[in-house]
Amino acid sequence: MKQPLLAFNDKGIYCAQANVYLDPWRPVDNAIITHGHSDHSRWGHKQYITHHMNVPIIRHRLGEINVTGKDWGETFTINSVKFSFHPAGHIIGSAQVRVEYKGEVWVFTGDYKTEDDGISTPYEVVKCHTFITENTFGLPAFKWTPQAEVMTDVNNWWAQNRAEGKTSILFGYTLGKAQRLLKYLDTDIGKIYTHGAVENMTAVLRTMVDFPPTTLVTRETKKEDLLGSIVLAPPSAHGSTWIRKMTPFVTGSASGWMAFRGARRRRAIDKGFVLSDHCDWQGLLESIKATGAEKIICTHGYSDIFSTYLREQGYDARTEQTQYEGDEGETETRTPAEIAEEERGGEV
């Protein structure tokens, strides 16, 4: 039986011909990394290869690693296997990996979204024979509202809170979501403050994207200074001593999970905004069709449901288990350094 070009094992997605892994979850010698979220870029590999925009991101998170950066579409060959990175549109520096050997082409998406958020390099369709896709929001119930409408709602919410003399605390993942929110906050409404983890990651990304000015919340920050302002913070800050000293405040969260009834209540959030850095149901289906792939491998998310639907549509679709965690894992799977950084977020 012919060995597949990419195979799933206990360390990650493995290309035996090149002896290289894609987004491995256990330490390996050679790792090709799609993006900077901690469930996809983990510490401990001997050699990292990624898109050059992702280099400062993973160095910020992982320290002084041995990493090589590549351009979009730049082909690099390892033992006759051709690899290249193509925009995934998920977050800044996020890539799909194209793998070609003897005329056979596979594409691994990592995480991706098809809506152009204005800060990430927009998603690019890459033709292939086999397409490995995430399914974080692979249910028909997920249908995203355009980003511009969501950000209008966010700014209106902030303005209303300001009129009531309250601080707005908006939760978004430290890498990706926080910067997406920051880019479109209306600075005419008030001042933008940040938690330490968000501030430090945004500082890394300011070399690539023009963001509005922000002010770090420190121990010296008075709660009177925050009234009417907005504070960007990671979800892990919710319920902490750091946030309790900001009263009176109103909380909001931006996530695809806010599309679920009850998600806001379960998280004890005052206001939910449905804003995801992943494809919705239709985005997944359109992406798959555009690749021309006949074989589809479904990974994290609603993979069983989604792959069943694809088979009903005539695709050769199956699922594979990974240790990628999608939207939730982007904040919950944190390195010790990141946890310590969040704990240094300061107190008001």
Over pLDDT 70: what percentage of the chain?
Answer: 93
pLDDT of residue 261: 74
CA angle 214–176–64, rounded 5-degree value: 90
- Distance, in Å, from the CA atom of 290 to the CA atom of 114, rounded to the nearest integer, reads 12
pLDDT tens digits, one per residue of 209-223: 999 999 999 999 998
- The Cα–Cα gap between 319 and 310 comes to 11
Whose tokens are 């998310």? That residue is 301
Q: Examine the pLDDT at 113 and tell me if it is beyond 70.
A: yes
N- to C-terminal Cα separation, the chain:
63
Confidence of residue 1 (pLDDT cuts 50, 70, 90): low
pLDDT number for residue 327: 57
CA distance readout (Å), 90 to 12, 111, 196:
20, 6, 23
Question: For position 343, what pLDDT does the model report?
Answer: 37
Give residue for tokens 């469930």: 39
Q: What percent of the chain has pLDDT over 90?
A: 88
pLDDT of residue 50: 98
Closest CA to 239 of 92, 136, 342: 342
Average pLDDT, the chain: 92
- In terms of DSSP bridges, do strands 95-101 and 81-87 run parallel, antiparallel, or are they unpaired? antiparallel
Measure Cα distances from 148 to 175, 180, 209, 235 in Å: 20, 11, 18, 23
DSSP annotation of 144 reads P
Residue 99 tokens read as 């793998």
Select the more confidently predicted residue: 227 or 337: 227
* Mean per-residue pLDDT, 24-36: 98
pLDDT at 325 (0 to 100): 81
Residues 338, 256, 275, 293: what is their CA dihedral angle, to the nearest 10 degrees? 100
pLDDT digits (tens, 9 = 90+) for 261-302: 777 777 789 999 999 999 999 999 999 999 999 999 999 999
Q: Put residue 19 in one of left, alpha, beta given phi > 0 → left and psi -120 to 50 → alpha.
A: left
Q: How far apart are CA 108 and CA 118, in angstroms?
A: 23
Judge whether 248 and 167 are in contact, CB under 8 Å: yes
Query: Residue 174: what pLDDT?
Result: 96
212 vs 157: CA distance, rounded Å: 19
